[in-house]
Amino acid sequence: MRAGQRQRQRRNRAGPRGFRWLRRRDPREIWVSPAGDPKACSEAFYRHSTNSQRAEDYLLVVEELDDIAWWDGRLFVFGGSEGAEVAARFIAAHPVDAAILMSLGGGRTFGEDVREVMLDDMKRSGVPAEQLPDIDLAFQNIRENPKSAEIWGGSSFVYWADSIDRRAADFMMESDAPMLLIQGGADRSVPVASARLTVALLEQSGKCNLTYWEEAGLDHGMVDGTGTSRLADILELSRHWLLTRTGRPSACP
């Protein structure tokens, strides 16, 4: 069976009411080894696992959609966290009817956000200042060896080199589709300041197609301070936002 046929079998799955999911699943991927050791993943995986590759994979899948009987031609994109960054890359390269990007940040480079989050986590954990890693030095090493499958921070140099100097807001500015950016106000994985900067950058560029929801007290996964997940509520509100944007132009008034 060809890869395209496998993809077509996976597409016809129900999503939120009135929508269907288009999911990407790459047979090359081995996300977690049986022993939980990331080094057990193949070198080939680490050499090809990048957000650029994921966006290109989605583009290849969408090229095949024209011959799918149930597809009416509309395309809505949803991504969360790293998936939101991939979605931002995708909508910069392909027209969509609307996009929902959750827990993305996006206003600073990926490397800048990673540096802040890693250091803040270590400081909260009580790591002495003299033991904090030199993240900038690690990034420089990655830039000098962008094709290396060597692992740093759980991912290959190839992966990091593809992302650390990229800013999702730049991809978002390439799209005229209505976009909803959702960020938890208590997110410790992606600084909320990065999402606020995305809003400012798009406004400064003259874009009028971004809606921003900042959910006070919710973390990266839309969980509140009591440990209760609010994700289902957020997704339902997102569905209503999506329905109201269908068919509406996103041009500035």
| pLDDT per position as a tens digit, 148-182 | 989 998 899 999 999 999 999 999 999 999 999 99
pLDDT of residue 7: 40
Q: Coil, helix or strand for 224? A: coil
If pLDDT is split at 50, 70 and 90, which confidence band does 67 have? confident
pLDDT of residue 48: 85
Are 146 and 156 spatial neighbours (Cβ–Cβ below 8 Å)? no
pLDDT score recorded for residue 148: 93
Considering the chain, what is the average pLDDT of its residues?
Answer: 85
pLDDT at 76: 92
pLDDT band at 12 (very low <50, low <70, confident <90, very high): very low
Q: Dig out the tokens for 57 from the structure.
A: 């994979």
Its pTM surpasses 0.95: no
Residues 6+ apart with CB under 8 A from 15: 21
Q: Which two tokens stand for residue 30?
A: 């081995």
User: What is residue 145's DSSP assignment?
Assistant: -
**Alpha helix positions (H), the chain:** 3-11, 43-48, 51-63, 82-93, 110-124, 135-144, 157-163, 168-172, 192-204, 231-245
Residue carrying structure tokens 């024209």: 66
Collapsed DSSP state (helix, strand, coil) of residue 178: coil
pLDDT tens digits for range 90-136 = 999 999 999 999 999 999 999 999 999 999 999 999 999 899 999 99
What span, in angstroms and rounded, lies between the C-alpha atoms of 100 and 174? 15
Question: Residue 111's pLDDT is what?
Answer: 96
* pLDDT at res. 210: 96
In the chain, the largest separation of any two C-alpha atoms, in whole Å, equals: 61
Nearest Cα residue to 107 out of 5, 33, 201: 201
Q: How far is CA 176 from CA 25, 207, 241, in A?
A: 27, 8, 17
Confidence check: pLDDT of 13 > 70: no
Residue 64: pLDDT band with limits 50, 70, 90: confident
Phi, psi of 41 (to 5 degrees): -70, 150
Q: What is the pLDDT of residue 73?
A: 83
Give pLDDT, residue 253: 60
